[in-house]
Amino acid sequence: MLAAISHDLRTPITRMRLRSEFIEDETHRSRMLDDLDQMRVMLESVLSFLRNDRRLESMTLADVASTLQLITDQFGDMGRKVVYDGPAHAMATVRPDDLHRSVTNLVENAVRFGAEAVIRLRVSDDRITIDVEDDGPGILDAQKLNVLEPFVCGDDARNMDEAAGFGLGLSIANAIVLAHGGALSLHDRQPHGLVVRIQLPVHQQSIAA
C-alpha cells in the first residue's frame, strides 16, 4: 500500500511542479519548487527502500577501493569534505551498486552531521572493513540500535531542512550489508563523532590488492 501511494503521488507532484511555474512571485515560486522537490525525493526514497527488499543485485568481483574513491570524488564534486584512506585497489566479490548505495548513505549522514568525513578501507585475509567516520555529535549508546530501524530519525532531523529524510539511509545500508553476509555497527569516535563500520567476509582467492 505504501508503495502504491508513493507511486501514485508522483503524478500530481509533477503536475503541481508544472503549475507552480506560473506563480509570478519569484520567492514563492522557488519555495514551492523546493517543497515539491523535497516531496519527490522522499517518495523516491520510500520506493527504493521497498524495492530493495525484493530485488538483489548479483555478486560480482569488483574493486571495492575504487568504488570508495568514486564516492569520495562524488561528494567532493558537491563541495563536501570527504577523504579516502586505504589501498588503491582491493578486489572482492560484492554487489557493487548496492555497496555504493550503502556507503553513500553513510557518507550523506557523515557530512550532514559533521564537517568532514573519512572513508577508511582495511583488507585482511578473511574480511574487508569499511569505516565511515565523521566529526559530528555522534549517537548516544541508547540510540545506536534504534537508528538502524527504518523510519527512525533523530530529533534534529525532524525539522525538515532540505537534507532531512525519512530515516531510511541507515536501515538500507544495514540491509545491504546483511545481504552480503556482513555486519554493520556504530561506534564512538574520539573526541567526538560517529564511526559506522561495515565488515564484509571475503574469500581468500578474491583478494588481489
Ligand X SMILES: Nc1ncnc2c1ncn2[C@@H]1O[C@H](COP(=O)(O)OP(=O)(O)OP(=O)(O)O)[C@@H](O)[C@H]1O
> Which residues lie near Mg ion (CB under 5 A)?
109, 169
Residue selected from 136, 197, 198, 199 as contacting ligand X according to rule CB under 6 A: 136
Residue 147 to residue 53: CA distance in whole angstroms: 18
Which 26-85 positions form the footprint of ligand X (CB under 6 A)?
A: 45
166 binds ligand X (CB under 6 A): yes
Residue 178 CB burial class (10 angstroms; 0-12, 13-18, ≥19): exposed
Least distance (Å) between residue 97 CB and ligand X: 18
Type of residue at 53: D
Residues near 41 by beta carbon (within 8 Å), at least 6 away in sequence: 165
Q: Which of 32, 36, 47, 152 binds ligand X (CB under 6 A)?
A: 152
Q: C-alpha angle with apex 117: 113 to 121, nearest 5 degrees?
A: 135
Q: Which residues of 135-155 are buried (b: 16+ CB within 10 A; e: fewer)?
A: bbebbeeeeeeebbebebeee
Does the footprint of ligand X cover residue 153 (CB under 6 A)?
Answer: yes
* Interface with ligand X, residue 119, by CB under 6 A: no
* Candidates 16-24, 73-81, 91-99, 137-145; binding stretch for ligand X (CB under 6 A): 137-145
Binding site for ligand X (CB under 6 A): 45, 105, 109-110, 113, 134, 136-139, 147, 152-154, 157, 165-171, 194
